[in-house]
Amino acid sequence: MKQISIDIRDTRVSVSPSTIEGMLPESRECLATVENGTGAGNDFLGWVKLPEEITAEAIADINASARKLQEKCEVVVCIGIGGSYLGAKAVIEALSDSFSAYRHDTGTKVVFAGQNIGEDYLYELLDYLNGKQFGVIVISKSGTTTEPAIAFRLLKARLEETLGKKEAAERIVAVTDAKRGALRQMSDEEGYKTYVIPDNVGGRFSVLTPVGLLPIAVAGFDIEALVNGAKAMEEITRSEDYATNPALLYAATRNALYRAGKKIEILVNYNPKLHYFGEWWKQLYGESEGKDGKGIFPAAVDNSTDLHSMGQWIQDGERIIFETVISVETSAHETVIPGDKDNLDGLNFLAGKRVDEVNKMAELGTRLAHVDGNVPNMRVIIPAINEHYLGELIYFFEKACGISGYLLGVNPFNQPGVEAYKKNMFALLAKPGYEKETAEIRERLSAEK
């Protein structure tokens, strides 16, 4: 079976092969730090062996819960934010028919909530659910995050109102901490089916736990194949050689580029199904590396769409960027461009060609142009978009992230910066326990007037 691979030849515009080669000893040390758990944040390394440790029984149990929800529900609302949302969203979007939201024959639909505090979003969600059989998967490791808690309160109330408490409890599955947090307590009291997020797996590394696997299974996808793909990559990324370990090479190359002044990495896709994969990747790298005044800023574009918006900047703006292109070798379906006898649009030179061939030329042409414009490029090559290769890709980026964070000299597994907005928000909303902060923030605001 093919596997995902990486091509870094087009980074030579900014860093020489010998520079990257010279980073091998350092990169190996960082790999060993991840593997042996000897670095900062080592109590959050549960994800490293997760694929090999997931048992067949655990997968069967998740699939059984998914079937139960599918049998009862036309719609399952998956509630969570950040790491408790993006992995499932990325995989479901990548594997779903692009128009599944508008089709009526595609089984249980999975929709998301709790990833924002949009009043209209929640109003419209409740309106959409009116008269539908629905269930809820509520995901929060801490069990205290405000955004998902608000969405859950609304949906729980609606379920209980329409079905009564007992039947509502049958349609709610919670994924949370084993012991701590409001969601754990509520689940125990209400008798919800629950799954545990292991203590040693942080949110952004949790897609291969029930956090990601349960919603993905409810959406009808093969979670065993996803885990097997990750397992294959777990094996591969133990290697200490660039030639056989793409995660090691990717981590080293992006740090070499950063040290050469490239401060922004753009993850590029040429398949719209990968849009949310970019969002997942942004969280993984942004929260892991952006700290202590350091870090590559992770951005993402969807091409060729964004060539008509961000293309100008990338080609010609400040030269502080590099690109990592997710290059998909084969598309799932064939669509051939027809000929036209009048050829008014001048497109007959494309007649008989597959759309994917045109897309591939857009990708190649863009890569060459960007290299000419001094934008180093890496390619992560994925044979196809399916469960197996997405599992490989997820683990590849996770492992590289751990290595890369250590190369950068940060703790890749904490996120102290995300607390700042919460403290202010709670102070502004006068949450009990925040009396001092409330007084301070009110004073600050009145001084600003």
Is 291 near ligand PA5 (CB under 6 A)? no
SS3 117: coil
Query: How would you label 8-33 residue by residue, b for 16+ Cβ within 10 Å and e otherwise?
Result: bebbeebbeeebbeebeeebbebbeb
Q: Is 287 in the site for ligand PA5 (CB under 6 A)?
A: yes
Query: Cα 286 to chain center, whole Å?
Result: 11
User: Site map for ligand PA5, 246-285, x if CB under 6 A?
Assistant: ----------------------------------------
Lookup: tokens for 262: 């490239």
Among residues 3, 100, 142, 200, the one that binds ligand PA5 under rule CB under 6 A: 142
Q: Tell me the backbone φ, ψ of residue 105, rounded to 5 degrees.
A: -120, 25
Q: Considering beta carbons, is residue 70 or 116 the nearer one to ligand PA5?
A: 116
Identify which of residues 211 and 382 has a Cβ nearer to ligand PA5 in the complex: 211
DSSP structure class, residue 296: P
CB burial readout 373-396, b (16+ within 10 A) else e: eebbbbbbbbbebbbbbbbbbbbb
Q: Judged by CB under 6 A, which stretch of 29-37, 141-149, 165-173, 234-242 contacts ligand PA5?
A: 141-149
Task: Please state the closest distance from residue 399 (CB atom) to ligand PA5, in A.
Answer: 17
Is 287 an annotated catalytic residue? yes
What whole-number distance in Å separates Cα of residue 320 and Cα of residue 447?
39
Q: How far out from the chain centre does Cα 268 lie?
A: 14
State yes or no: residue 298 binds ligand PA5 (CB under 6 A): no
All residues at 6 or more sequence positions from 240 whose CB lies less than 8 Å from its CB, including other chains: 28, 31, 248
- Of 39, 46, 51, 83, which one interacts with ligand PA5 (CB under 6 A)? 83
Q: Which region among 17-25, 91-99, 202-210, 395-403 touches ligand PA5 (by CB under 6 A)?
A: 202-210
Q: How are strands ordered across the β-sheet holding 134-140?
A: 109-113, 75-79, 134-140, 172-176, 193-196
Pull the structure tokens for residue 21: 């080669």
Active-site residue, selected from the candidate residues 147, 224, 287, 363: 287
Residue 62's nearest CA partner among 289, 215, 187 is 215
- DSSP letter assigned to residue 286: H
Q: Is 84 in the site for ligand PA5 (CB under 6 A)?
A: yes
Q: How far is the CB of 246 from ligand PA5 (least distance, A)?
A: 24
Q: How many CB atoms lie within 10 A of CB 278?
A: 19
Task: Determine which residue in the list 78, 81, 393, 401 makes contact with ligand PA5, applying CB under 6 A.
Answer: 81
Per CB under 6 A, which region of 70-78, 140-148, 165-173, 426-434 contacts ligand PA5?
A: 140-148
Give the span between the Cα atoms of 164 and 439, in whole angstroms. Answer: 42
| 194 forms part of the interface with ligand PA5 (CB under 6 A) | no
Region near ligand PA5 per CB under 6 A, out of 98-106, 139-147, 223-231, 338-346: 139-147
CA dihedral of residues 432, 437, 441, 443 (deg, nearest 10): 100
Q: Does 148 bind ligand PA5 (CB under 6 A)?
A: yes
Residues 398-437 that bind ligand PA5 (CB under 6 A): 415
Is residue 334 among the annotated active site residues? no
Smallest distance from the beta carbon of 271 to ligand PA5, in angstroms?
Answer: 25
Which residue from 65, 140, 253, 324 is in contact with ligand PA5, where contact means CB under 6 A? 140
CB of 95 to ligand PA5, least distance (A): 22
- Is 275 in the active site? no
> Of the candidates 219, 261, 6, 199, which has an alpha carbon nearest to the alpha carbon of residue 106?
219
**Which of 46, 51, 82, 412 touches ligand PA5 (CB under 6 A)?**
82
Q: Report in angstroms how near the CB of residue 283 gets to ligand PA5 at its nearest.
A: 6
Query: Could you give the CA distance from residue 71 to residue 117 in angstroms, rounded to a whole number?
Result: 30
Q: Catalytic pick from 166, 179, 294, 422?
A: 422
Position 229: which residue type? G
The CA-to-CA distance between both ends of the chain, in Å, stands at 65
Catalytic residue among 104, 308, 333, 341: 308
**141 is a contact residue toward ligand PA5 (CB under 6 A):** yes
For binding to ligand PA5 (CB under 6 A), which residues are involved? Answer: 81-84, 140-142, 145, 148, 202-204, 287, 415
Instruction: Name the residues annotated as catalytic.
Output: 287, 308, 422
